[in-house]
Chains A and B, each alone.
Chain A
């Protein structure tokens, strides 16, 4: 029971941290995609959507190649920044962030596109700088959509398995999330314990998605 609690708490923590790390980049990119035309935009759109469609284990393998000790990036991060990523909790967070990123970008983009550009233009004619327009018009009007997008991305991060197993592995007490633990327990034939974790897995995802839908449907007060 105590172990279930710890695994659930760990999963909640890494999913929240992953979503939190992805958030500013995803929001920035979503805004650029919704409001600006720039060279290479369709290439970036396609690249960002890729983690949604390629097998998560393939994304995991790519990350492993990119961040492994023998890669330039991996050795820089480990030797210069002093951060060990692969097969640590940081890898779990990274997998959660990367796998939820496309979902966050796509939903946030829809939220930004729902704000009339006319309102932003009028705000600018009233003397508001682009930063003020974003903070006082775009962001508040897109807020419900952005919260829903964040909760959906969080739900995706909660259930992340393929990329996580590649770059973090299953290390009890260190990288074991709900989904990794369920898989491991079923492999060992401990189905009863797996069912207990399954319950929490579904309950958390249900809560996040339901809350997201509630935010979207809630009428502006």
Chain B
């Protein structure tokens, strides 16, 4: 990805979110304790929130420029978003959920065909079920599939495994790896689980009270000296 978050500034109730970074990872982990501003940053990228100042640029297209009062509407950003709870539409069938954002645009990558996405995520047998009958893991896989089928330029995943129990997390993690490898869509992945970062991500952006305190690769991030620094921050 090539996501430039330039001088993003947004006062929140407890602190001010201040971010000025260029993200280049295939999958970038947005790491930090609860309430450190991760979700807010994701919402700014998605266009669901506007920063007080700053610019958001994805490759060559400027999505937000607070100074120029520019904000591309959410539905024209081509940025997929999977929240923690998946947020499947309860009144639609699994198939209708999957096809909600599906458009047959000419630039659509062949890998993002309905058949292929459904196959990679192993959700073909669920297509005619109602959302209410799905298990937690199935719901999350359908939510990934729905976001992918809209052929996004960037996928935002907000702690997609956080609400699930440990065995289920371990079963779902490989699906996220497959999404990364099969579809080549860059991802911004909010998490505070070290194993997920190590398994999926090639870049880490760590936030604490709205400020970036680390940007680099996961190996550096989890070096003992950094871990001590993180623990000290978490306690302070």
Contacts and interface: CB of A to CB of B under 8 A. Distances in A.
Contacts of A71: none
A141 interface: yes
A121 B48 contact: yes
B53 to A, nearest CB: 21
A158 B7 CA distance: 60
Contacts of A121: 46, 48, 74, 81, 87
A136 B147 CA distance: 17
Contact of A126 (B85, B90, B100, B132): B100
A119 B46 contact: no
A79 interface: no
Given A121-B74, A126-B150, A116 B87 contact: yes
Contact of B83 (A118, A128, A220): A118
Contact of A220 (B48, B85, B90): B90
Nearest to A119: B87
B75 A127 contact: yes
Contacts of A220: 90-91, 132
Nearest to B46: A125
A122 B91 contact: no
Interface residues of A, number: 18
A42 interface: no
Nearest to B48: A121
Contacts of A137: 89
B114 to A, nearest CB: 14
A128 B101 contact: yes
From B73, B78, B85, B101, residue with most partner A Cβ within 10 Å? B101
A78 to B, nearest CB: 45
A94 to B, nearest CB: 36
18 contacts: A116-B87, A121-B46, A121-B87, A124-B48, A124-B74, A124-B75, A125-B46, A125-B75, A125-B81, A125-B147, A125-B150, A125-B152, A125-B156, A126-B80, A126-B147, A126-B150, A127-B76, A128-B100
The 4 A-B pairs of least Cβ separation, nearest first, read A126-B101, A125-B81, A124-B74, A122-B87
Given A119-B87, A128-B75, A140-B91, 20 more contacts: A118-B83, A119-B89, A121-B74, A122-B83, A123-B100, A125-B46, A125-B77, A125-B101, A125-B150, A127-B76, A127-B101, A128-B100, A129-B75, A130-B75, A137-B89, A141-B89, A141-B90, A141-B91, A220-B90, A220-B91
